[in-house]
Amino acid sequence: MQFMPAYSPSTLPAMHTRLLSFLTDVECSMAADDPAPSDGTWETTRTVNYNQGLARLVLGVRLPDGKLDSRGIIMLQSFLLADESTCLKAVLSWTGAENKITRSIYAKPEVSWTSEARKVAAEWMAGPPSKPEAATDEQGSLNSNIEAAV
Protein backbone atom coordinates (compact mmCIF):
# COMPACT_ATOMS: atom_id res chain seq x y z
CA MET A 1 0.00 0.00 0.00
CA GLN A 2 1.40 3.38 -0.97
CA PHE A 3 0.72 6.61 0.94
CA MET A 4 -0.61 9.45 -1.19
CA PRO A 5 -0.24 13.02 0.14
CA ALA A 6 -3.28 15.29 0.30
CA TYR A 7 -1.73 17.34 -2.50
CA SER A 8 0.82 16.28 -5.02
CA PRO A 9 3.27 19.01 -6.13
CA SER A 10 1.34 19.37 -9.38
CA THR A 11 -1.98 20.02 -7.58
CA LEU A 12 -0.78 22.57 -5.01
CA PRO A 13 -2.16 25.99 -5.83
CA ALA A 14 0.65 28.17 -7.17
CA MET A 15 0.63 30.56 -4.21
CA HIS A 16 1.12 27.75 -1.68
CA THR A 17 4.68 27.36 -2.88
CA ARG A 18 5.24 31.15 -2.63
CA LEU A 19 4.26 31.50 1.03
CA LEU A 20 7.83 31.31 2.30
CA SER A 21 9.06 33.70 -0.42
CA PHE A 22 6.36 36.20 0.52
CA LEU A 23 7.37 36.04 4.20
CA THR A 24 11.02 36.51 3.22
CA ASP A 25 10.10 39.62 1.23
CA VAL A 26 8.18 40.96 4.24
CA GLU A 27 11.18 40.34 6.52
CA CYS A 28 13.63 41.98 4.10
CA SER A 29 11.41 45.03 3.78
CA MET A 30 11.11 45.39 7.55
CA ALA A 31 14.87 45.02 8.04
CA ALA A 32 15.49 47.66 5.37
CA ASP A 33 13.01 50.10 6.94
CA ASP A 34 14.22 49.56 10.52
CA PRO A 35 17.54 47.65 10.67
CA ALA A 36 18.01 48.19 14.44
CA PRO A 37 14.60 48.35 16.16
CA SER A 38 15.00 49.61 19.74
CA ASP A 39 18.80 49.32 19.20
CA GLY A 40 18.35 45.55 18.87
CA THR A 41 18.02 43.05 16.05
CA TRP A 42 14.98 41.47 14.44
CA GLU A 43 14.34 37.91 15.53
CA THR A 44 11.71 36.05 13.56
CA THR A 45 10.27 32.57 13.39
CA ARG A 46 8.49 31.23 10.31
CA THR A 47 6.05 28.35 10.18
CA VAL A 48 4.61 27.11 6.89
CA ASN A 49 2.05 24.39 6.18
CA TYR A 50 2.01 23.97 2.41
CA ASN A 51 -0.75 21.35 2.44
CA GLN A 52 -3.15 23.78 4.10
CA GLY A 53 -1.80 26.92 2.43
CA LEU A 54 -0.99 28.58 5.77
CA ALA A 55 2.04 30.47 7.05
CA ARG A 56 2.95 32.44 10.14
CA LEU A 57 5.73 34.94 10.82
CA VAL A 58 6.34 35.64 14.52
CA LEU A 59 8.12 38.97 14.95
CA GLY A 60 10.33 39.94 17.85
CA VAL A 61 13.34 42.07 18.67
CA ARG A 62 16.42 40.87 20.53
CA LEU A 63 17.27 43.86 22.72
CA PRO A 64 20.86 44.88 23.62
CA ASP A 65 20.42 43.36 27.11
CA GLY A 66 19.61 39.98 25.51
CA LYS A 67 15.89 39.98 26.26
CA LEU A 68 13.43 39.11 23.52
CA ASP A 69 10.69 41.70 22.97
CA SER A 70 7.70 40.06 21.25
CA ARG A 71 6.23 42.43 18.66
CA GLY A 72 3.48 40.53 16.83
CA ILE A 73 2.49 38.08 14.13
CA ILE A 74 1.71 38.11 10.42
CA MET A 75 -0.40 35.17 9.28
CA LEU A 76 -0.99 34.18 5.67
CA GLN A 77 -3.60 31.98 4.02
CA SER A 78 -3.45 31.06 0.35
CA PHE A 79 -6.51 29.68 -1.41
CA LEU A 80 -8.16 29.36 -4.78
CA LEU A 81 -11.23 31.42 -5.61
CA ALA A 82 -14.19 30.10 -7.58
CA ASP A 83 -12.69 31.47 -10.80
CA GLU A 84 -9.47 29.42 -10.14
CA SER A 85 -7.45 32.55 -9.35
CA THR A 86 -5.31 32.70 -6.22
CA CYS A 87 -5.95 34.89 -3.21
CA LEU A 88 -3.50 35.54 -0.38
CA LYS A 89 -5.06 36.68 2.88
CA ALA A 90 -2.79 38.42 5.40
CA VAL A 91 -3.78 38.94 9.04
CA LEU A 92 -1.57 41.42 10.91
CA SER A 93 -1.52 41.48 14.70
CA TRP A 94 0.57 43.18 17.36
CA THR A 95 1.54 42.02 20.84
CA GLY A 96 -0.67 43.71 23.40
CA ALA A 97 -3.16 45.04 20.84
CA GLU A 98 -6.63 43.62 20.32
CA ASN A 99 -7.15 45.15 16.89
CA LYS A 100 -5.94 43.29 13.81
CA ILE A 101 -5.77 44.18 10.15
CA THR A 102 -6.85 41.74 7.44
CA ARG A 103 -5.82 42.25 3.83
CA SER A 104 -6.59 40.20 0.72
CA ILE A 105 -4.23 40.20 -2.24
CA TYR A 106 -5.56 38.81 -5.50
CA ALA A 107 -3.30 37.22 -8.10
CA LYS A 108 -3.61 39.30 -11.25
CA PRO A 109 -1.15 39.72 -14.11
CA GLU A 110 -0.19 43.22 -12.93
CA VAL A 111 0.40 42.21 -9.29
CA SER A 112 3.96 42.42 -8.01
CA TRP A 113 4.23 40.04 -5.04
CA THR A 114 7.35 41.84 -3.83
CA SER A 115 5.50 45.17 -3.80
CA GLU A 116 2.57 43.59 -2.01
CA ALA A 117 4.96 42.15 0.61
CA ARG A 118 6.43 45.65 1.08
CA LYS A 119 2.94 47.06 1.61
CA VAL A 120 2.13 44.37 4.21
CA ALA A 121 5.42 45.08 6.01
CA ALA A 122 4.82 48.84 5.96
CA GLU A 123 1.29 48.42 7.27
CA TRP A 124 2.53 46.19 10.10
CA MET A 125 5.39 48.59 10.92
CA ALA A 126 2.86 51.45 11.17
CA GLY A 127 1.35 49.74 14.22
CA PRO A 128 -2.11 48.58 15.18
CA PRO A 129 -5.19 50.51 14.14
CA SER A 130 -6.80 52.69 16.79
CA LYS A 131 -10.16 51.04 16.21
CA PRO A 132 -11.06 47.56 14.96
CA GLU A 133 -11.78 46.92 11.31
CA ALA A 134 -15.43 46.29 10.52
CA ALA A 135 -15.60 42.53 10.08
CA THR A 136 -18.45 40.20 9.34
CA ASP A 137 -19.10 37.14 11.49
CA GLU A 138 -17.82 34.98 8.62
CA GLN A 139 -14.49 36.87 8.51
CA GLY A 140 -14.07 36.50 12.27
CA SER A 141 -14.70 32.77 11.97
CA LEU A 142 -12.16 32.42 9.15
CA ASN A 143 -9.54 34.34 11.15
CA SER A 144 -10.08 32.03 14.12
CA ASN A 145 -9.67 29.00 11.86
CA ILE A 146 -6.40 30.37 10.45
CA GLU A 147 -5.00 31.07 13.92
CA ALA A 148 -5.96 27.59 15.15
CA ALA A 149 -4.46 25.80 12.14
CA VAL A 150 -1.07 27.50 12.16
Contact 69, 60 (CB under 8 A): yes
Q: Give the Cα separation of 89 and 52 in Å (integer).
A: 13
Rounded to two decimals, the pTM is 0.77
Least confident residue range of 8-12, 19-23, 72-76, 111-115: 8-12
pLDDT of residue 132: 72
pLDDT of residue 137: 53
For 121-131, the pLDDT digits (tens) are 999 999 999 87
**Domain chopping of the chain, boundaries:** 14-128+138-149
For 17-60, the pLDDT digits (tens) are 689 899 999 999 999 999 989 999 999 999 999 889 999 999 99
Q: What number of CA atoms fall less than 13 Å from residue 70's CA on the CB side? A: 10
